[in-house]
Structures are given as C-alpha cells and as structure tokens.
Homo-oligomer: A and B are copies of this chain.
Amino acid sequence: MSGHLAVIGLGPGDARFVTPEAADALAAADALYGYGPYLARAPLRRGQSRHASDNREEGARATAALHHAAEGARVALISGGDPGVFAMAAAVCGAIESGPEAWRALDLKIVPGITAMLAVAARIGAPLGHDFCVLSLSDNLKPWELIERRLDAAAAAGFVLALYNPVSLARPWQLGAAFERLRKQLPAATPVVFGRAVGRTEESVSVATLATADPSHADMATLVIVGSFETRVIARPGRNPLVYTPRQACGASA
C-alpha cells in the first residue's frame, strides 16, 4: 500500500509556532483535510485539494482522510495545537482500529505541535513547571461523574490542572461546576489562569483566584489552568504577574 497520511499539529494559531516538520508535511500533501479555520492557516499550493469539515465531525473526517490515503494519495489531516492532545490523532487511530485491515498498512505520520497549555503557560510564567494533569471538561464523550472524580483526585494529590474544552454553547455550566468542585479541595487564593486565543491577534491572558474565578471569562477558545497548593504569583509593576509552580514540592497540604 503506497498511501500516506500525515496528521499535523499547527500549534496555537500564528505561523511562528508552526515547526519546519509541520510546514514540510503540509507542503508535501496532495490533499488537505480539516476543520475550516485550521485549513485556512495552511499556505495555498497549486494542485492541492482541500476538504473542509465541521469541528464536530472528527470521526467522519478521519475516515474520509484514511479512504483518500488508501487510494494511494499523500493526505494531510490538519489539527490545531498538537494532534495528540484532545485532537485528531486519537480519532484516526480509532478509525484505523475499526476500519479495513488495509488501513493498518498505510504510512501514518503524526507531526507534533505546540498544544494550547504550553502556549498559555509560556505567556504567564511556568504554572506547569511541576506535576500536572490535563483534563477535558467536555462530557460529550464521558460521564460528568468521571470528570468530577478526576478533578477531585488531581487536586487532592497536588497536581496543577490544565482544563481543555472548558465550555461551549452546548455545555455552558461545566466550568462553573468544576470551579465549585475544586473550591472544596483547594485554598481560595489558588491561582487560576484564563488563556484565550493565545498565539492569535485577539489573544488575552488573565489571572484570578479560585475564589473569584468567573467561568463566563472562558469560551471555546480558552484554556484554563488551575494551580496546586504550591503554585505562586509574583506581582510585577506595569506587567502581568508571573504564575509559576516551583520544582520543589513538599506535598504537605495534599
């Protein structure tokens, strides 16, 4: 089988985050598949076909790209951020597992990218500088009770939390419920970082405490980081504060 499928992470938005490996893989493709706004980030190349799909159609998009690659084409499937973190790489693996045997013989290449939590953390200091958990707040594909159990376990054990998919139009209450849950475990002064559209022109980053964090500050383009017992805030005159989690941990409060 001669088909190729590259699953490419473009990072958080701006071209300055696109690795040379990702740029080369984009340029080498005969056909690009992806959510429309991600496709729009790829430089146009003559003779390269483009296949846009809706954000929610991940399974169908993965299947379409695999079918196309199995015909012998060089296909690229585009992801924002990193394709391996709540993105297309798992959808592609799932489609391969349940698809035709021939798909296992395809040349599959996954190209990593800067995922949102790394970009947000870099903008505000080093909140992920020590042990942390990465959790999607979407209960579309898992029960809310499981999310609550994971929030409890992570906070009690002293992990910092990076929360993906904090809210959407169809899931308006989940982030507020998560903050409520975490307030039972963590001090009121625990730092909370809202990073919106980081790496794009409309970027904004703000810092609150767990006591004051307002879930309405988040939207679908926001990544939320909730500190641990050990996360610290450094005030800076005329600048955003720095939020960081030291490399030393005593775990005394956990």
Contacts and interface: CB of A to CB of B under 8 A. Distances in A.
A233 B232 CA distance: 40
Given A93-B234, A104-B235, A247 B122 contact: no
A178 interface: no
Contact of A236 (B83, B104, B132, B142): B104
Interface SS, A side = mixed
Interface string A14-46: 011111110010000000000000000000000
Interface residues of A, number: 81
Given A133-B131, A133-B159, A159-B133, A84 B126 contact: yes
B133 A154 contact: yes
Interface stretch (A63-71, A105-113, A169-177, A208-216): A105-113
Interface in A75-115: 82-87, 89-94, 96-97, 104-105, 108, 110-115
A47 interface: no
A119 B142 CA distance: 26
Nearest to A136: B131
Interface string A151-164: 01110111100000
A206 B21 CA distance: 23
A141 B248 CA distance: 5
Given A16-B24, A84-B126, A104-B235, 8 more contacts: A84-B128, A87-B129, A90-B129, A90-B245, A93-B126, A97-B244, A141-B248, A150-B158
Interface of A: 11, 15-21, 24, 58, 82-87, 89-94, 96-97, 104-105, 108, 110-115, 118-119, 121-123, 125-136, 141-143, 145-146, 149-150, 152-154, 156-159, 232, 234-239, 242, 244-251, 254
